[in-house]
Amino acid sequence: MATKTDKTKLILMSTTAYRNTGIQEKYGLGDRMVLSTLYYLLPPHRDNVEAGLYLSNTIVMDNEKIEWVMVRPDTLIDAEHESKYEIHQSPKQSPVFESGKTSRINVSAFMIKLLLDEKLWKEWRYKMPVLYNS
């Protein structure tokens, strides 16, 4: 039975190309120039940026109905099996000039773990973790 305290868990997938302004992530000048250009030329990138801004500015921590996590993998690759991966608060390298790799299967595994592991969910809710294959 649902109660007033039940919240919907929302997990979105974005990209390391979205800079989390809520924690003042800093990207290099070259990254900022390329990503700014992509914002105007590539609608999916603009959508990622706008979704991140909406989450961080509108669906804030004190929202009564929704909790969220925005997972930001680096360059997506295909893999047949889940492997070890790292979770970071921010990108550890340039998303444009030195991007890391993240398998789609690892992204989906992390998203499932977020839903099933309450401790992991509480660690990352209202945050934008970055995933890299180990």
Residue 1 lies in a domain: no
| The predicted structure's pLDDT at residue 3 | 47
**Is residue 19 one of the residues assigned to a domain?**
yes
Residues contacting residue 61 through CB under 8 Å, at least 6 positions apart: 126
Q: Give domain status of residue 102, yes or no.
A: yes
Residue 117's domain spans which residues? 8-133
Rounded CA-CA distance 128/126 in Å is 7
Average pLDDT of the residues in 100-109 = 97
At 54, which CATH number?
3.40.50.720
Q: What is the mean pLDDT of residues 4-12?
A: 80
User: Would residue 73 count as lying in a domain?
Assistant: yes
As a whole number, mean pLDDT of residues 84-90 equals 96
pLDDT over threshold 60, residue 4: no
Confidence of residue 2 (pLDDT cuts 50, 70, 90): very low
Is a pLDDT exceeding 80 seen at residue 12? yes
In-domain check, residue 105: yes
**Residue 52, both tokens:** 């991140």
Report pLDDT for 5: 58
Domain assignment present for residue 3? The answer is no
Percent of all residues in the chain with a pLDDT value above 90, rounded to a whole number: 74
Residue 2 lies in a domain: no
Number of domains in the chain: 1
The answer to whether residue 47 is domain-embedded is yes
CB neighbour burial string for 70-84, b if at least 16 within 10 angstroms, e if fewer: bbbbbeeeeeeeeee
Q: What is the pLDDT of residue 79?
A: 97
Average pLDDT over residues 91-114: 96
| Mean pLDDT score of the chain | 91
Task: Choose the weakest-confidence range: 64-68, 89-93, 110-114.
Answer: 64-68
Mean pLDDT, rounded, for 60-87: 91
